[in-house]
Amino acid sequence: MTIRPLSVGLAGLGTVGAGVLAVLRDNAELITARAGRPIVVTAVSARDRTRDRGISVGGFRWYDDPVALAHDGGVDVVVEAIGGSEGSARQLVTAALSARKPVVTANKALLAVHGAELALLAEREQVSLAFEAAVAGGIPAIKALREGLAANRISRVAGILNGTCNYILTVMREQGREFAEVLADAQRLGYAEADPAFDVDGIDAAHKLAILAALAFGRPVAFDEVHVEGIRRISALDIELAGELGYRIKLLGIAARSDAGIEARVHPCMVPATAPIALVDGVFNAVVAEGDFVGRVMLQGRGAGAGPTASAVVADLIDIARGRNTPVWGAARADLSHAPSVPMSSHVGAYYLRLMVLDRPGVIADVTAALRDAGISMESMLQRGRGRSPGEAVPVVLTTHETRESAMRLALARIAELNTVLEAPAMIRIEAA
């Protein structure tokens, strides 16, 4: 008996799309065995038909309009590898789901911004919307949360979700160089885009965290309620001082559930240098989940690139070929949580402060008075040397016991007003792990 192949329409032939073609070609026999039938691309859409992609794109039905893939009667499933939260990517996914065709996407921006409405559409039409490749590349973070840990109540999910930022912070620590210089090198090496804002300002990590939080806590995705900070203000001095205090600086995405609701935040963190996540360096990503029965689980690997991302896309295609269909956020709409979002001002944690102050009597007393008036307890203080002249700035580092974010913001505003503090205070949140 001949088994009919699963026919794939692939929109986007950039890094990810070409990678999908390569995986399906190179591992065809293995994929057929695991899918129960062959998986073949039969139709494609891309802007440039003449571009050399390093892999043959001949023999496919070609569409200049990617939305047309959704209406190709010979296509069983659509893979969206265009990118972006709007435009043709959104139109294609909406059209395919409306036509009752399963969709596989690597598009974290689309899911973070429009995931709630797309999930409703997929549920209504009873088709799969699969997105393993949208978070952490080849790391099976989506399956781990939605399926592997399905029996657990997840209390926290966190991770290093952007390889570009992790690479920059790693090189800054290892070589003692400043952010702007390392970023320029990362751009030359292809680790950072010509316009790096999406990565270094934390937006990419926030898209991924919004998706992970929706899965972990079983509620519709809420990207607009994620607190986002990037790494532009991290200095080589902060990284050096963090090391002296026994920490490393990482850009983390963290989402946690409490009785008050869901807290979701992306920002630089100081984590103990011995913590497993502190040891994840370079372009690697990591995802940590904490469940009530399983405890802490950590997954680590390459979070981007043609091979890892295409691997995740094809894993979703194998599920679809086998007829597996899991609700987008792990449960049907009627069973999703509507827990409120907790504002960043309510966050409670410890803090690192670095001040550049005049080496003058009474400066520390003024700073500690500002902390005292805000109800903040200081844990430790580190002063680096003495100024050579009365007008020279010296760094003073303070760490605090746990306090509320709103109190810390109040104290920072008062400290910044002191005429002995010569630049805006640097503040980094301290995380246990």
Residues marked as catalytic = 208
pTM above 0.75, yes or no: yes
Here the tokens at position 268 are: 């630089």
The Cα 60–Cα 346 span in angstroms is: 54
- Measured CA angle at 383 (ends 380, 388), to 5 deg: 170
CA distance 115 to 405: 30
Q: Which CATH class is domain 345-430?
A: alpha beta
pLDDT, tens digit only, all 433 positions of the chain: 468 999 999 999 988 999 999 999 999 999 999 999 999 999 999 887 667 667 777 788 989 899 999 999 999 999 999 998 889 999 999 999 999 999 999 999 999 999 999 999 999 999 999 999 999 888 999 999 999 999 999 999 999 999 999 999 999 999 999 999 999 998 988 888 888 999 999 999 999 999 999 999 999 999 999 999 999 999 999 999 999 999 999 999 999 999 999 999 999 999 999 999 999 999 999 999 999 999 999 999 988 888 899 999 999 999 999 999 889 999 988 999 989 999 999 999 999 999 998 877 888 889 999 999 999 999 988 876 655 555 678 889 999 999 999 999 999 999 999 888 888 899 999 998 7
CB 225 within 8 A of CB 264: yes
Query: Distance (Å, rounded) from C-alpha 162 to C-alpha 141?
Result: 14
- Residue 310 gets the label, from left (phi > 0), alpha (psi -120 to 50) or beta, of alpha
- The domains of the chain are located at 6-134, 148-302, 345-430
Fold of the 6-134 domain: Rossmann fold (3.40.50)
> Same topology for domains 6-134 and 345-430, yes or no?
no
Just give the CATH number of 148-302. 3.30.360.10
399-to-44, 163, 232, 352, 406 alpha-carbon distances in Å: 55, 28, 21, 5, 16
